[in-house]
Amino acid sequence: MTDHTATPAAARDNLFGVCAALGEDFGFNPLWLRLGFAVALLFSLEKVLLAYAALGVLVLVSRLLFPNRIRATTNEVPAPANEADEEGYRHAA
């Protein structure tokens, strides 16, 4: 049997991460934006590349001006509040 669970795209699977960043910021699946770009490529390559570059600059500026504090703190492991919590962590492991 094959596993059909969706896995998040790795960083190397994204072209500058523009669609992934917009999907994360606005709360939608970036696949829909990627499909929109793919369909639009059939009509005008130059306009799609210009729009993608403009969105890339917009994402870059927004990430530099307004860094997401939640994303920065999710990699940190919370310290136990007291000894009882630490003991509970030891038993859970």
Q: Which pLDDT value is given to residue 4?
A: 53
Query: Please, what's the b/e burial string for 13-26 (b: 16 or more CB within 10 A of its CB; e: otherwise)?
Result: eeeebbbbbbbeee
Give the residues of the chain that fall short of pLDDT 70: 1-13, 69-93
H helix intervals, 1-93: 18-26, 30-41, 45-65, 69-73, 83-92
> What is the rounded CA–CA span in Å between residue 39 and residue 18?
17
DSSP SS3 for 58: helix
> What is the rounded CA–CA span in Å between residue 46 and residue 41?
8
pTM of the model: 0.59
Q: Which pLDDT value is given to residue 16?
A: 79
Do 40 and 47 contact (CB within 8 A), yes or no? yes
